[in-house]
Structure 1
Amino acid sequence: MKPCFSDARPRWIPQAAPGWTDHLILFDGVCVLCTSWTRFIIRRDEAGRFRFVSIQSPQGRRLAEVFGIDPDNPQTNAAILDGVAYFKSDAALMVMRHLRGVRWTRVLTLVPRGLRDKLYDLIARNRYAWFGRDEACLLPTPELAARLLDRSQQEGSP
């Protein structure tokens, strides 16, 4: 499957994501930090807008491959908001704009992306060593399970 990005532009800049479910977050389902991040979002997402898909699922692998993310060694998460896919620190900051109690973080977008992403990359490279890794995707809580995309919800998406 050919990635949506052009090799001529930087790889992890926001890009169009037409046809994909809006308010969708692709996350590493075996990463303890990443699953904690999804629970953090759920607790603060008063409108219940965000949905999640694990990169280890068939739908998650497909989405990752479309955006050039290695599903076996993900370098970034992704968040699709208003038809645009965001990656690395942009993804986290764009999601937080919609969450109760952390909207103030939008000021962090004033920090150049290159600096923000260096910190993101440091954490991403060490996430399993620092926070842990599960051998399989964690069993979701009922609240998380209700917001995970299943095969029927993803049918028809590119």
Structure 2
Amino acid sequence: MENYKKIILFDGVCNLCNGAVQFIIKRDHIDMFRFAALQSETGRKLLAERNIDTEDIDSIILIEPNVAYYTKSTAALEIGKNLKGLRTLSSILLWLPESFRNIVYDIVAKNRYKWYGKKESCMIPTPKLKEKFL
């Protein structure tokens, strides 16, 4: 695994999460991110290494190898800071208290299947995108 790439763990059966992954891939012009579904073997391994319980966090996690990991709204905004067009907005929103940001985040996360739907299985990347997935 490339130690300098940031890793995004996402809910592989969530339509909103899969849409977010596609959004990030289109805007990741410097090839900074790699992806793994929370449900995948790699995802479960990365969660276990960091003692992250998916009962508490079951949507998005950003891992910066050898630095830190971020969850919920902080993960989303840290990702946004690295994407053209979202850098300024993400940086400003990070100034809001995390507890406030996570209230909004938790409402969306709790309702994501109801609002956006759910897949029967994790998405399968195209051959062109396969190198971005762990």
The match for 1:31 is: 14
Consecutive unaligned residues of structure 2, counting only runs of 5 or more, are none
Corresponding residue for residue 107 of structure 1? 92
State the Cα RMSD in Å.
1.9
Rounded to whole Å, the distance in 1 between the matches of 2:61 and 2:17 is 12
**Cα gap change, 1:74 to 1:134, in 2 (>3 Å):** farther
CA deviations over 1:26-59 (Å, ceiling 9, x no partner):
1110001111111111111110110001111111
> In the alignment, is the contact (CA less than 8 A) between 1:39 and 1:144 conserved in 2?
no
Task: Quote the Cα distance in structure 1 between the aligned partners of 2:94 and 2:37.
Answer: 26
Normalised by the length of structure 1, the TM-score is 0.74
1:96 aligns with 2:112: no
Aligned-partner Cα distance in 1 for 2:38–2:57 = 8
Q: Any runs of at least 4 consecutive aligned residues in structure 1 with deviations exceeding 4 A, and if so which?
A: none
Alignment-derived partner of residue 144 in structure 1: 129
Q: How many residues align?
A: 129
- Which has the larger Rg? 1
Counterparts of 1:27 and 1:144, CA distance in 2: 16
Deviation at residue 25 of structure 1 after TM alignment: 0.5
Superposed, which structure 2 residues align to 1:1-158 within 5 Å? 22-65=5-48, 66-70=50-54, 74-81=57-64, 83-105=67-89, 106-149=91-134
Write the letter of the residue equivalent to 1:113. E
Shift of 1:140: 1.7
1:115 Cα deviation (Å)? 0.6
Q: Deviation at 1:145?
A: 1.8
Question: Secondary structure of 2:83's partner?
Answer: coil
